[in-house]
C-alpha cells in the first residue's frame, strides 16, 4: 500500500507493508462543513457505514463556525431544506433572531440528523494522510483528541473546503488567478448582536496563501486584530468571532472535467448536470488590472459584477483525475479560478454534498466504480430527494434594439453592452451610428460595446473619454462598477492603440487614484507590446515614476476597514518582466530589492520568474 502525505507543501508517497485496517467504513467524509455535513447525513440515510472527520467541534463549517450563516443566491432543492426547517424549529423560542439562519440551530440540527442517520463523528480531528493502492484510495489517517487513528474506506469524500485531503493524496490542483497565482481576499467574520438579532459582519482582511501554514497563521492574527475597538458597547456586542478563517477560494482539484467561465460564456456547458449553482462573478478582488481579459470585459467594461447566472455542474468535475474511490464536494471541485468566484455558495455546496453521497451509495450498492455510475441512475436518485429539480433561473440578454438603445443611454448600461457583444456583427451598424449621438451615455456606452466587439470605430470616443478624464461610474452593479475612464483605458490598451500612448503617459504621470494608475500602466505595456517603436518612450515614462523609491500605489482591500496593500513592488515586477522582454535597460531590480514584497508580490515574482528546481 502507499501512504500519501503532504510534507512541506509537497505530496509524498511511501510504500508501506500495511494490507488492511482494523476499522472499515463504506464512506469517510473528511470535513463536516457545508458540503460534508450534507454528504455525511445523506450517506448515512442511504444505509452506509459512515465516518465524518472534522477539525472543529461542530458541523456546518463556514455556515456555523465560520459565522457565515446566510444564503447568497443558489437554487432550492435537496435535503438541506428539510434540515433548515428543523433548524428554524429549534431556534423558535429558544435562540435569538438572526439575519439569515441561526448558526447554532443549524449546527444542532445537522448533528442531530447525522447521529440519527448513524454517522460516526470524529470532532477536533484532522485528516493527515491517505492510504492508497495505485490510484485507488483505501483508507485514511487522522489525528484525534485520543491520538493518531486509521481506518479503511471504500469511498473517501474530500469536503475539507480547501481540497486538503486530495492534496495529501497527491491529486493535481491549481489555485489562484493566472496572472499571479493568488486568490481573492479572505475574511474573518464576526457575529454581533444589533437591532434585536445576530448579524454577520464580514469584511476583506487581505490576501492569504491558503496552502502555507505560516502565512495562514500570520493572517489569522492580522484578521483577528481588525475586530478590536476602543470601547465595546452593548448595542453591538460581540457574540463570537469566527472559529474558521473566511477563505473564499483555495485549491481547485483537477478532475475529469474542469468547469471554466470562458466555456460557460460561450455556451459550452455540460449535458449531464447533477446540480446547479446560481450566482454572480462574486470576487472581492479590486485590483482589476490583474484579472483576465474575460473578466475585465465583464466587470471593468460592462460592469456586470452583480449579474447572476445558472451554472450546470457535471459529476465529472467532482472526480479527481487519476484517482478511484475519491470524490470532491464543496468549493474545491474541478474548476478554473474564474469559475471559482461564482461556484461556491452554500446552497450549491450542500447540493454537491448530496451528489457525492448518492454517487457513493450507487457505486457501493452496485459494486461499480464511481466512473461507471450511469448518469441516468444518479439523476434518478437526485430527483428523488429533489436535489436535482431542473429549476434554474435563465439570464435573459436583450434582443430588442430599442430596449438596447434605451439601456445604453441610461446610467445602467452594462446589460445592453454585453447583449450587444452577444449580437455581434448584426448590431455593429447601429452602434456605430450611436457613437456620434449627442447623448453622452449612448455614445460612450456604444463605444464600450464596440470595444468588446473588437471594432476600431470605437477608438475616437474611447480617446475622448480619456481626454476628458470621465470619472462617471455607471450603476449597473452595486459593487465592482468602474469609472468610465478606467473602462476606456483598459479597452485602448486591449486595442494596442498607439495614438493614445502620449495621453496615457500624461495620465500616468498625474497624481491619480490607484485604479486609474494601474489600468493606465497595463494599457501602456500592452501598447508597447503591440507597437515596438513606442517601447522606449513608454518604458522611460513608467520608470520615471515607479523607479523612485518613494513611489507607492495603495490599493484598498476593504471598503470599511483600513486594509491596504502597496502595489508598487507588484508593478515593478510586471514592468521588469516586460522591459526585459523588450530588451530595454533599466534599474528596476535594484529598486525592487530595496522594498519589501507583500505575500502577493512574492507570488507574482514566482509566477513571472519561476525558480526552476534542479532535477
Partner 1 sequence: MNQNYETLIIGAGLTGIGLACADKENSLIIERTISPGSEYINAFNPGNDWQEEPLTSGGKNLKKELEDRNILCDGKVHISALSPVLYSFIKTEKLNVLFWTEITGIEKVRGNFEVEIYNASGLRKIKVKKIIDTSPERRSAPDKSSIISKSINALLHCEKEISSFELKNGKLLNGRFPSEKYFSLPVEVNDSWPDARKKLFAAWEKRPGKLSGWLIAATASEFAYSSAKGPFEIKNNWLHLPSAAYSNPIQSFEAGVNFFKGEQQCSCQN
Number of residues that bind partner 1 (CB under 8 A): 70
CA distance 277 to 258: 15
**Minimum distance, C-beta of residue 297 to partner 1, in the bound complex (Å):** 34
CA distance 52 to 58: 11
DSSP states along 339-389: HHTTTT-HHHHHHHHHHHHHHHHHHHHHT--GGG--HHHHHHHHHHTTS--
479 binds ligand FAD (CB under 6 A): no
213 binds partner 1 (CB under 8 A): yes
Stretch that binds ligand FAD, among 161-169, 420-428, 441-449, 491-499 (CB under 6 A): 161-169
Letters for 70-89 (x = contact with ligand FAD by CB under 6 A, - = none) are xxx-x---------------
Contact partners, residue 44, CB within 8 Å, separation at least 6: 50, 114, 117, 118, 119
CA distance 501 to 493: 9
- For the chain, the residue count is 615
Stretch that binds ligand FAD, among 159-167, 503-511, 531-539, 571-579 (CB under 6 A): 159-167
95 binds ligand FAD (CB under 6 A): no
148 binds partner 1 (CB under 8 A): yes
**Minimum distance, C-beta of residue 127 to ligand FAD, in the bound complex (Å):** 4
Among 212, 391, 536, 581, interactor with partner 1 by CB under 8 A: 212
CA distance 395 to 430: 24
Cell of 62: 463556514
Among 3, 117, 239, 584, interactor with partner 1 by CB under 8 A: 239
**Minimum distance, C-beta of residue 350 to ligand FAD, in the bound complex (Å):** 8
Among 1, 6, 34, 485, interactor with partner 1 by CB under 8 A: 6
Among 63, 168, 333, 373, interactor with partner 1 by CB under 8 A: 168
474 binds ligand FAD (CB under 6 A): no
Answer whether 151's CB lies under 8 Å from 139's CB: yes
Name the residue among 270, 301, 272, 296 with its Cα closest to residue 283: 296
| Alpha-helical segments (H) within 252-370 | 261-265, 293-295, 337-340, 346-366
CA distance 237 to 240: 9
The residue (of 112 and 537) whose beta carbon lies closer to ligand FAD is: 112
Interface positions, 247-306, toward ligand FAD (CB under 6 A): 247-248
Stretch that binds ligand FAD, among 113-121, 239-247, 303-311, 563-571 (CB under 6 A): 239-247
Name the residue among 83, 33, 26, 68 with its Cα closest to residue 54: 33
368 binds partner 1 (CB under 8 A): no
96 binds partner 1 (CB under 8 A): yes
Q: What's the number of CA atoms in the CB half-sphere (13 Å) around residue 138?
A: 15
For binding to partner 1 (CB under 8 A), which residues are involved?
Answer: 5-10, 55-58, 65, 90, 93-96, 103-104, 107-108, 111-112, 115, 121, 123-124, 126, 128, 143, 145-148, 162, 164, 167-168, 191, 193, 198, 210-214, 216-217, 220-222, 224-234, 237-245
Amino acid at each position: 500500500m502507499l501512504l500519501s502525505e503532504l510534507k512541506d507543501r509537497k505530496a509524498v508517497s511511501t510504500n508501506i507493508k500495511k494490507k488492511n485496517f482494523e476499522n472499515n467504513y463504506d464512506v469517510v467524509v473528511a470535513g463536516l462543513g457545508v458540503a460534508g455535513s450534507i454528504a455525511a447525513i445523506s450517506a448515512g440515510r442511504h444505509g452506509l457505514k459512515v465516518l465524518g472527520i472534522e477539525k472543529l467541534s461542530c458541523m456546518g463549517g463556514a455556515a456555523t463556525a465560520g459565522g457565515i450563516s446566510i444564503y447568497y443566491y443558489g437554487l432550492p432543492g435537496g435535503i438541506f431544506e428539510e434540515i433548515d426547517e428543523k433548524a428554524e424549529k429549534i431556534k423558535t423560542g429558544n435562540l435569538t433572531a438572526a439575519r439569515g439562519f441561526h448558526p447554532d440551530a443549524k449546527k444542532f440540527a445537522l448533528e442531530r440528523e447525522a447521529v440519527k442517520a448513524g454517522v460516526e463523528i470524529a470532532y477536533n480531528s484532522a485528516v493527515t494522510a491517505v492510504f492508497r493502492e495505485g490510484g485507488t484510495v483505501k483508507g485514511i489517517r487522522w489525528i484525534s483528541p485520543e491520538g493518531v487513528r486509521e481506518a479503511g474506506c471504500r469511498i473517501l469524500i474530500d469536503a475539507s473546503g480547501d481540497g486538503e485531503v486530495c492534496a495529501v493524496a497527491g491529486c493535481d490542483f491549481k489555485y489562484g488567478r493566472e496572472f499571479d497565482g493568488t486568490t481573492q481576499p479572505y475574511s474573518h467574520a464576526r457575529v454581533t448582536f444589533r437591532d434585536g438579532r445576530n448579524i454577520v459582519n464580514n469584511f476583506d482582511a487581505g490576501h492569504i496563501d491558503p496552502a502555507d501554514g505560516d502565512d495562514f497563521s500570520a493572517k489569522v492574527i492580522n484578521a483577528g486584530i481588525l475586530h478590536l475597538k476602543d470601547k465595546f458597547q452593548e448595542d453591538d456586542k460581540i457574540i463570537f468571532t469566527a472559529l474558521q478563517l473566511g477563505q473564499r477560494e483555495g485549491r481547485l482539484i483537477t478532475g475529469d472535467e474542469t468547469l471554466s467561465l470562458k466555456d460557460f460564456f460561450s455556451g459550452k456547458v455540460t449535458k449531464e448536470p447533477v446540480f446547479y449553482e446560481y450566482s454572480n462573478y462574486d470576487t472581492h478582488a479590486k485590483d482589476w488590472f490583474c484579472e483576465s481579459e474575460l473578466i475585465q470585459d465583464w466587470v471593468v467594461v460592462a460592469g456586470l459584477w452583480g449579474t447572476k447566472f445558472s451554472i450546470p455542474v457535471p459529476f465529472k468535475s467532482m472526480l479527481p483525475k487519476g484517482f478511484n474511490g475519491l470524490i470532491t464536494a464543496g468549493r474545491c471541485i474541478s474548476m478554473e479560478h474564474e469559475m471559482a468566484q461564482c461556484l461556491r455558495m452554500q446552497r450549491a455546496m450542500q447540493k454537491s454534498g448530496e451528489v457525492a453521497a448518492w454517487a457513493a451509495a450507487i457505486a457501493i450498492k452496485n459494486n461499480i466504480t464511481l466512473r461507471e455510475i450511469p448518469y441516468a441512475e444518479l439523476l434518478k436518485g437526485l430527483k428523488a430527494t429533489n436535489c436535482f429539480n431542473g429549476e434554474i433561473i435563465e439570464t435573459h440578454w436583450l434582443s430588442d434594439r430599442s430596449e438596447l438603445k434605451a439601456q445604453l443611454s441610461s446610467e445602467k448600461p452594462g446589460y445592453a453592452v454585453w447583449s450587444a457583444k452577444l449580437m455581434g456583427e448584426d448590431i455593429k451598424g447601429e452602434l456605430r451610428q450611436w457613437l456620434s449621438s449627442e447623448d453622452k451615455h449612448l455614445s460612450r456606452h456604444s463605444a464600450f460595446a464596440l470595444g468588446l466587439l473588437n471594432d476600431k470605430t470605437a477608438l475616437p470616443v474611447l480617446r475622448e473619454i480619456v481626454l476628458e478624464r470621465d470619472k462617471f461610474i455607471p450603476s449597473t452593479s452595486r459593487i465592482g462598477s468602474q469609472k468610465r475612464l478606467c473602462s476606456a483605458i483598459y479597452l485602448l490598451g486591449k486595442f494596442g492603440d498607439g495614438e493614445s500612448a502620449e495621453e496615457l503617459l500624461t495620465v500616468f504621470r498625474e497624481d491619480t487614484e490607484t485604479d486609474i494608475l494601474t489600468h493606465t500602466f497595463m494599457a501602456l505595456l500592452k501598447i508597447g507590446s503591440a507597437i515596438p517603436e513606442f517601447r522606449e518612450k513608454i518604458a522611460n515614462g513608467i520608470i520615471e515614476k515607479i523607479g523612485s523609491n518613494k513611489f507607492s500605489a495603495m490599493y484598498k482591500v476593504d471598503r470599511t476597514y483600513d486594509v491596504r496593500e502597496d502595489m508598487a513592488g507588484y508593478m515593478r515586477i510586471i514592468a521588469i518582466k516586460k522591459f526585459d522582454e523588450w530588451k530595454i535597460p533599466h534599474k528596476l531590480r535594484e529598486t525592487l530589492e530595496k522594498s519589501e514584497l507583500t505575500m502577493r508580490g512574492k507570488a507574482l515574482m514566482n509566477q513571472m520568474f519561476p525558480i526552476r528546481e534542479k532535477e
